[in-house]
Structure formats: C-alpha cells, structure tokens
Amino acid sequence: SQKIEQNSEALNIQEGKTATLTCNYTNYSPAYLQWYRQDPGRGPVFLLLIRENEKEKRKERLKVTFDTTLKQSLFHITASQPADSATYLCALNEDTGFQKLVFGTGTRLLVSP
Amino acid sequence: KAGVTQTPRYLIKTRGQQVTLSCSPISGHRSVSWYQQTPGQGLQFLFEYFSETQRNKGNFPGRFSGRQFSNSRSEMNVSTLELGDSALYLCASSLVGGALDTQYFGPGTRLTVL
C-alpha cells in the first residue's frame, strides 16, 4: 500500500543545533515533494518544494534533500531557534497535473533555549 | 492581500445532522482544495475545485460534498454526521491548482460531533 512516513515521536533539540527530519515514502513515484510547517490551531504553511531532478534545495536556514532511489527526503533546519518549534509535514502530489496532496503525519520539533 | 478565510472557526453538531463549511480563497486564486485533519489519520485530501468544477476527489464517502461558486468561494457539506467526522477541516487556495502551484491554507474549521 502507499505510505508516507515521518517520525511520529517529537524531536527535541537545543537552540543553535541542526534539526534533521525524515520523510520516507513507499509505492509512490513523485516528481516532487513539498514541506510544510504547521503551528497549533493553524493551517499548514508552505516552505519548500523539491523536484526529483534536484538533489538539494535551500532557503535561508532550511535545506531539503530528495533521494528517489532511497525514496526519502530529509529536511534540515540549521542554527535552530525556539521559534522553529512546530510540526513539519512532508507532502507529495498524487496527481501529475493538478493538486491532490498526500501528507505525512508530521514530526513535532521542539527547540529549547 | 487577505489570506484564505474559513467560516465558522468552530462548530458543534450532533450525530445525524448536516453541516456546511465555507472558504473564501485569496483574491485571484481560482483553485480551492479541502482537507480533513484528525490526530489518527493526519491530513487527508477531500476534493479540489477549479472554475466551479470538481477536478479531483479523495477517498471519502458520498456524505462529503462540495461546490464552488463563480467568485471562487467554496463550500463543503457533510450530511448525516458521524462521531468520526470530528476533525479540523482545512481549505487551501492556489492560483490555478496546478501541481506546482503553492497552496495557501486557511486557519480551518474545528468541527465537533457529539
């Protein structure tokens, strides 16, 4: 069956360290993968999209990698801050033409000062 | 630009009732998608509308339906509510709903079914 898996356990790190979150998928062949941030009581906010032919994508302190052989994406936040504490969701599109996002269950990140 | 707005923000209903939720997309956005978020199942795609037409549908029973108006505003309806329908319902808008379009989510409607 098709699955997108993220660490269900919360990730606790200290301020200033690099947080690394994992997204693994099975029985999908996505052309691209997205990462979102969700704060409690709010809708997800789009962060980054990476295409299958891009090994790595960066945006400020964020870095995403996409390994289609391993069927895995890694999401890194460098120099993490308490304000980065949130749930991070990966998502891929089931439809090649139009929007039909399938989300992972998300990983909660807690950055302590 | 104003963001995606959803009304109402909170709703309490009883089993067997029906409910209508509303979503106003960002001005200029013509695609609206709906998602259900629960602690057990996470975020699940319900359907997507563009130019008043449903283009994609998730795996939900027929009790879940939606529509889109000519001004791109969208509503979703759930009939014969069940306890398991308690969830956060999110809508998201994008320019044309292309696979690479950025989706902008609203704050959601929290539905509780008693």
- A43 chain-B contacts, CB cut-off 8 A: 4, 90, 92, 105-108
Q: Cα B86 to the chain's mean position, in Å?
A: 14
- The Cα A45–Cα A7 span in angstroms is 19
Q: How many CB atoms lie within 10 A of CB A49?
A: 19
- B56 chain-A contacts, CB cut-off 8 A: 95, 98-100
Per-residue pLDDT of B12-44, as tens digits, reads 999 999 999 999 999 999 999 999 999 888 999
Residues 6+ apart with CB under 8 A from A98: B31, B48, B50, B55, B56, B97, B98, B99
- Under an 8 A CB cutoff, do B100 and A89 touch? no
Chain A: give the shortest CA distance to residue B91, in Å. Answer: 8
- Under an 8 A CB cutoff, do B98 and A42 touch? no
Taking CA atoms, what residue in B is nearest to A48? B102
A2, pLDDT greater than 80? no
Most B CBs within 10 Å, among A6, A34, A42, A101, to test the B interface: A101
Per-residue pLDDT of B33-87, as tens digits, reads 999 999 888 999 999 999 999 999 999 999 999 999 999 999 999 999 999 999 9
- B42 chain-A contacts, CB cut-off 8 A: 89, 103-106
What integer pLDDT is reported at residue A86 of this predicted model? Answer: 97
* Confidence band for B90, pLDDT divided at 50, 70 and 90: very high
Chain B: give the shortest CA distance to residue A95, in Å. Answer: 7
Residue A39 contacts B where some CB pair is shorter than 8 Å: no
Q: Give chain B's mean pLDDT.
A: 95
Per-residue pLDDT of A10-59, as tens digits, reads 999 999 999 999 999 988 888 889 999 999 989 999 999 999 889 899 99
- Under an 8 A CB cutoff, do B103 and A103 touch? no
- Under an 8 A CB cutoff, do B104 and A46 touch? yes
Taking CA atoms, what residue in A is nearest to B39? A105
What integer pLDDT is reported at residue A79 of this predicted model? Answer: 97
A106, pLDDT greater than 90? yes
- The Cα B104–Cα B10 span in angstroms is 20
Q: Rounded to the nearest 5 degrees, what angle is found at the Cα of B91, between the Cα atoms of B4 and A104?
A: 125
